[in-house]
Structure 1
């Protein structure tokens, strides 16, 4: 019987092993090449790019906002008068003295009245006009531009125009006399009317801004909501109450806060229309009183204390109003 030679398996070749090792090294090198940048390096690069783009704006904000606020706060603690040196430290005497100053308290009262009137008139009137203009067509587009024109005009220009209309011998009183009114009101000369007249001028100029914001809010409301409300049997008033008004909550927030700030810082219209009169402090506001005290009376330290109080009031009212209105946005 023939005995066969047992079959021995051939040893694997060394070449594939070398090729496999080379392939692994190649994949490792490629993986290292495409490995992501460490997070620290990415963060450092992002911060440097952010700093490059943000630096100009931050420098301007620092120079024109933060530094003047800091300087004004420092001056409010002194008796600074550039024409009567030296400047002495008085602490909180300026701030405490404001609340026994009749002129300052009158200016504060006038400012509150103007702010309330401006906020109510611009929001109510702006919403009413926006509802009327929320339609398509060239006529409505032209009317939107007309209502927005006063916003882009200077407050001084607007005040000069209204002064020519509202003075005793102006256009409005001339028309009233032609209609048979022998003694028309003194819109700017009557102490009982001047403050409300100035408030109207300020509100008139800010009306266009509110119209644009409310129009943007109205055009952002989905029509499906109105269709669903109509299917449920809601009339126009119910649709406004249940759909339009809740959906306009962000627009109401913007317009209310901007109107509050605009009312508190009213100055140009007061200066041009009445110069704080008629009479002592009849239409004087906080901003007007600050300028008069600092530049006419040269009491920079005392005027700086007024400016600090004004800043705190505006910030406090804005924060409170913003918090309440944003809470309404969530619940609407």
Structure 2
């Protein structure tokens, strides 16, 4: 005789169990303990100076001039009819393109050569990274001596039979590209290290499988290495972009904005000259805000394009 087992009645449409809200104070206390110091530093040293600069840019502030008064967007309107500012914008754009392209291309090549085991390659990595940690002023002084008209570079060229070597820093046709080369040389090691980290993160099995399938070195680089280096390319491009736009130390020490008038004067250089030499701090603040907007837009566009490439891979 079968015995029927009683089943518990099913509850349909039972109201959801109400959950008690989590107390807010522990979360606030947790934020104040760990997040607030960092936020406070960011607000004091990043957001507050930007806000002050925006305020100054809307005035004719000059600590040694007439009484400060509100001028609205007048400084911004004057910028785009100021030939000196437009020239500095062109100079900054050219310098940034050099600093973005040259270290990335050469850094990738050097990283491919150093992506091997052995003490020699470890030592060479340190050699290439050394300029990155050197002071920009030290690097600038050394290269100023090397590229002077009587420096080692021109002496070597004369020894090779070049009667009239170019004036690397005294000729307006070469000065900007010479500064770009110096800045690229200093930042080359950064790109090398980032690309090396990306190369060492690629599984070796992928290369071995492609080699078994008959792919040559170029094909393996094009199909495996280069696509998987997309995150490294993103980091290097954004960092070099910002480095090029904010270049000041090298310009100040090597050429002081010359030779001539504004040949190598970047926006950052003009901001300091206008604000502290000409004491037009309201106008210089407007310049700095425009530079900040340009850098932010250029970085955001580059980041979006490069990250989209990463996702598509």
- Please classify the TM superposition score into its range, dividing by the shorter chain length: over 0.9
Distance in structure 2 (CA, Å) of the matches to 1:209 and 1:320? 22
Correspondence 1:186-201 to 2 at 5 A: 186-201=167-182
Distance in structure 1 (CA, Å) of the matches to 2:202 and 2:25? 42
How many aligned positions are there? 295
Alignment match, 1:265: 246
Matching of residue 40 in structure 1 with residue 22 in structure 2:
yes
Correspondence 1:168-179 to 2 at 5 A: 168-179=149-160
Distance in structure 1 (CA, Å) of the matches to 2:97 and 2:271? 21
Alignment match, 1:15: none
Matching of residue 164 in structure 1 with residue 145 in structure 2:
yes
Q: 2:296 aligns with which of 288, 300, 315?
A: 315
Alignment match, 1:76: 57
Distance in structure 2 (CA, Å) of the matches to 1:322 and 1:241? 22
- Give the 3-state SS of the residue equivalent to 2:35 in structure 1: helix
Matching of residue 86 in structure 1 with residue 67 in structure 2:
yes
Alignment match, 1:50: 31
Query: What's the Cα RMSD here?
Result: 1.2
Deviates more, 1:45-54 or 1:134-143: 45-54
In the superposition, the TM-score normalised over structure 2's length comes to: 0.92
Distance in structure 2 (CA, Å) of the matches to 1:47 and 1:53? 10
Alignment match, 2:93: 112
Could you tell me how far 1:39 is from its partner in structure 2? Answer: 5.9
Distance in structure 2 (CA, Å) of the matches to 1:283 and 1:319? 26
Correspondence 1:95-174 to 2 at 5 A: 95-174=76-155
Q: 2:211 aligns with which of 230, 235, 243?
A: 230
Distance in structure 2 (CA, Å) of the matches to 1:93 and 1:227? 63
Unaligned regions of 5+ residues in structure 2, if any?
Answer: 1-19
Deviates more, 1:47-56 or 1:225-234: 47-56
Distance in structure 1 (CA, Å) of the matches to 2:27 and 2:213? 53
CA deviations over 1:216-273 (Å, ceiling 9, x no partner): 0000000111111112211000000000011000000000011101000000000000
Could you tell me how far 1:46 is from its partner in structure 2? Answer: 3.9
Matching of residue 254 in structure 1 with residue 249 in structure 2:
no
CA deviations over 1:176-216 (Å, ceiling 9, x no partner): 12222221110000000000000001111111000000000
Unaligned regions of 5+ residues in structure 1, if any?
Answer: 1-37
